[in-house]
Amino acid sequence: VGFSQDKSTDIRRLLDDLQNSVLIAVLLVFVVILWALGFRASSMIGLAIPTSFLMGILWLSLAGLTVNIVVLFSLILAVGMLVDDAIIVAEFAERRMEEGVPPPLAYTMAAKRMAGPVFAATATRVAAFSPLLFWPGVVGEFMKYMPITLIATLSASLIFSLLFTPTLGSLFGRPPKRETTRTDGLYMRIVGRAVDHPKTVLAITVVLLVAVPQIYARFGNGVIFFPEVEPDYGLVHVHARGNLSLEEKNLAVGAVEKRLLGMPELKRVYTRVGEQKGGGGDVAEDVVGVIQFEMVDWRERRPAKAVLEEIRARTADMPGLEVEPRKPQAGPPTGKPLQIRLSAADPDKLPAAAAKVAELFGRHPEIVDVDDARPLPGIDWRLEVKRSEVAKYGVSIGTVGAAVQLVTNGLKLTEYRPADSTDSVDIVLRFPPERRTLATLDELRVNGPNGAVPIGNVMERKPAPRVGRLDRVDGERVLTVSANLREGVQATDVQEAVTKELAGVDLGPGVRWKLKGEDEERRKASAFLGKAFGTALFLIFAVLLAQFGRFTSVALVLSAVVFSTIGVFLGLLAQDLSFSVVMSGIGIIALAGVVVNNNIVLIDTFDRLMAEGWEKRAAALETCRERARPVVLTAVTAILGVLPIAFGVNPDLIARETTIGAPSTQWWIHLSGAIVFGLAFATVLTLVVTPSALMVFTRRRRPKSADLAVAATPPSS
């Protein structure tokens, strides 16, 4: 006894891979903070991860949500951010203890001094992810677990950093044993030159902001809706036209099946012959059978695209049949990648328009598996009751209908439920198969008050073109011409070429066309993510304005978010990846919440030094000297959390093996890559460009003590 279409093994492997990625992320982050801050401080900071995980998962449980692959990846993404707040507090306390302050007082000072920046940093991250909670549609239902998980765990990390970290530090903290030597290294020399030429640094950054997206648009891999994920199964749609019996369909599909069975990549093959009910609009009307096959483990076979190409080659010479190999879509179901929906008030004009669109598709070699959605050739017999003759012979219309059912689908008499079943069985009366013909229909007689009447006297039979399926949108008949693309072809490139050609094609008076399918979903997702990004920036702006009280400081922090997109596009070029509307878009929004954290701490320290009376250049250099370590630590921990997934690496500590390119990582490569490369570039911006911007946009302000002295001096008479 075996299990067919068993998905439990794949789901278990997917969850195991993500759970292992969580463990790897935690270990990498802990090793970094252990190296940078020592055992005592890193132990206290490291407790933020399991504590925040437990509190966040508890809140998810109270909300009635379960753990799934999105929740697990959200935990991986959160690992590097959960320690940021604790690092800021502990690092400040470490510096005070290096200056001779006792641990209890040092951690108390850290909690008080860093409460504002820590709260603002967490609030900005929560503000960045909050708009994703309102994502509509199927994609929103799939991705909503990410903002919920991140908001829950980040809120828990804020509580830990401001309550638990000072308490644990007061009890177990010790002054560092190493001697502190404050020397100007390579970084300080670079910053010194940057603040001496701030306008040049800013000009170079602006040029990169304009140039890098243009370079990607020309040399990059284009735009996709969802990332391509290696599937574990595939489908083969067998198309055939004509009035085929079930036996003929079975022979046709069976011939295709035989050509597939010899392939070593296929583990199991399932075949369904006949009308494909429940397939939705994505199953063409001329499909006579669907073959579904399971593939062996991805590590033991060729990629799925190579398998599908071989299936296409093996079945290319089958006369009368069109074989369409398909792989399941990674994201929400959108149908074939290229779809043109035709609509018209007059439905008779649609078939000719569909033929023209299909002919246009056929001129492009990169377009395959064209379905023009026109009905199959054939005749439908329309039966019309002659009401005047029915009244003349005194025959009821119900009697005529019952007689017709004897020749067609049968006349339902009653229902019967067997003792061993919970479902009822219909008892249907109809003629035997050899008698279900048009000749029998013409021979039928119906009873009337004056005897039996030939059915032809009260009913007329007329031939009509076969209709098939009827689709209406806003009250109008529509036909959707759809097609697949060859492997490696971007849908956006083909759509652009096809739309230009369609603009010059006369489809007939009153016929309109519109791009549908993946293009429509991509546009919806792009529109929402654009609004979400704008909303996130506004919420971050409000938090920062409350924190700093000056538009200049807020603008500097938000500019880092915009400039960080340079790193995102550089990462796509370096990894030779396409820009995924969903995953890369979410990555940019997540990046907005992470990037502002370091700039908040940096600008807050600069403002404090300026208020104490420091000269502007000296304040900028001292800010970099004081905050370089926590800025680098928080960036490195956030990067390390998702670094393995960004490069498709999945080390398994338990099995002692490492896999590269596993399907579990392919889901998240675009999102992780956006964070890794975007944050790495943003860290350089924070440590070099932000001090330069402070030199340009900060006005010299007198210290508060001087203001108080002037206010206390009586005016001279």
Q: What's the confidence (pLDDT) of residue 181? A: 47
- Rounded CA-CA distance 107/85 in Å is 13
For residue 179, is it left (φ>0), alpha (ψ between -120 and 50) or beta?
beta
- Rounded CA-CA distance 364/195 in Å is 56
pLDDT digits (tens, 9 = 90+) for 642-665: 888 888 888 777 777 778 888 878
- Decide if 114 contacts 92 (C-beta within 8 A): yes
Q: What's the confidence (pLDDT) of residue 450? A: 83
How confident is residue 715, by pLDDT bands cut at 50, 70 and 90?
Answer: very low
Give 468's contacts (C-beta < 8 A, 6+ positions apart): 285, 375, 376
Q: What's the confidence (pLDDT) of residue 225? A: 84
**Range 578-597 average pLDDT:** 86
Provide φ and ψ at 515, rounded to 5°: -70, 135
DSSP H stretches of helix in 612-668:
616-646, 663-666
Q: What's the confidence (pLDDT) of residue 478? A: 86
- Rounded CA-CA distance 342/502 in Å is 12
Answer yes or no: is pLDDT of 707 > 60.
no
Instruction: State the residue for tokens 């550089």.
Output: 570
Task: Name the token pair of 516.
Answer: 């549908």
- Decide if 375 contacts 465 (C-beta within 8 A): yes
pTM surpassing 0.85?
Answer: no
3-state secondary structure 49-117: HHHHHHHHHHHHHHCCCCCCHHHHHHHHHHHHHHHHHHHHHHHHHHHHHHCCCCHHHHHHHHHHHHHHH
Q: What's the confidence (pLDDT) of residue 279? A: 45
* Integer-rounded Cα radius of gyration of the chain: 35
Task: Name the token pair of 484.
Answer: 């697949």
Q: What's the confidence (pLDDT) of residue 277? A: 59
* Distance, CA of 606 to chain centre: 39
Q: How far is CA 105 from CA 41, 89, 114, 167, in A?
A: 16, 13, 14, 11
Answer yes or no: is pLDDT of 3 > 70.
no
How confident is residue 699, by pLDDT bands cut at 50, 70 and 90?
Answer: low
Q: What's the confidence (pLDDT) of residue 703? A: 47
How confident is residue 11, by pLDDT bands cut at 50, 70 and 90?
Answer: confident
Answer yes or no: is pLDDT of 119 > 50.
yes
Answer yes or no: is pLDDT of 196 > 80.
yes
How confident is residue 700, by pLDDT bands cut at 50, 70 and 90?
Answer: low
Helix (H) or strand (E) holding 473: strand 472-473
The answer to which of 76-85, 145-154, 614-623 has the lowest mean pLDDT is: 76-85
Q: Which domains does the chain have, with CATH numbers?
A: 8-226+522-706 (1.20.1640.10), 231-329 (3.30.70.1430), 379-465 (3.30.2090.10)
Q: What's the confidence (pLDDT) of residue 176? A: 63
Positive or negative, the CA dihedral 29, 35, 36, 37 is positive
**Range 239-259 average pLDDT:** 88
Task: Count other Cβ atoms within 10 Å, centred on residue 209.
Answer: 16
Percent of the chain, pLDDT > 70?
93
Answer yes or no: is pLDDT of 151 > 70.
yes
The answer to which of 273-277, 282-286, 466-470, 584-588 has the lowest mean pLDDT is: 466-470
pLDDT digits (tens, 9 = 90+) for 314-338: 998 898 888 999 888 766 667 788 8
As to burial, measured by CB atoms within 10 angstroms (0-12 exposed, 13-18 middle, 19+ buried), residue 671 is buried
Answer yes or no: is pLDDT of 87 > 90.
no
Task: Name the token pair of 635.
Answer: 């960036």
The answer to which of 5-19, 125-139, 209-223 has the lowest mean pLDDT is: 5-19
Q: What's the confidence (pLDDT) of residue 516? A: 84
Q: What's the confidence (pLDDT) of residue 517? A: 76
Q: How far is CA 392 from CA 112, 386, 448, 450, in A?
A: 99, 10, 10, 11
pLDDT digits (tens, 9 = 90+) for 34-60: 787 777 777 887 888 888 888 888 888
Q: What's the confidence (pLDDT) of residue 600? A: 80
Task: Count other Cβ atoms within 10 Å, centred on residue 135.
Answer: 21
Percent of the chain, pLDDT > 90?
11
- Rounded CA-CA distance 4/684 in Å is 53
Report the DSSP pairing between strands 223-224 and 579-580. Answer: parallel
pLDDT digits (tens, 9 = 90+) for 532-586: 989 988 998 888 888 777 888 888 888 888 888 999 999 999 998 989 888 898 8
Give 649's contacts (C-beta < 8 A, 6+ positions apart): 658, 659, 660, 665
Using the 8-state DSSP alphabet, how is residue 145 labeled? H
Question: Mean pLDDT in the chain?
Answer: 83
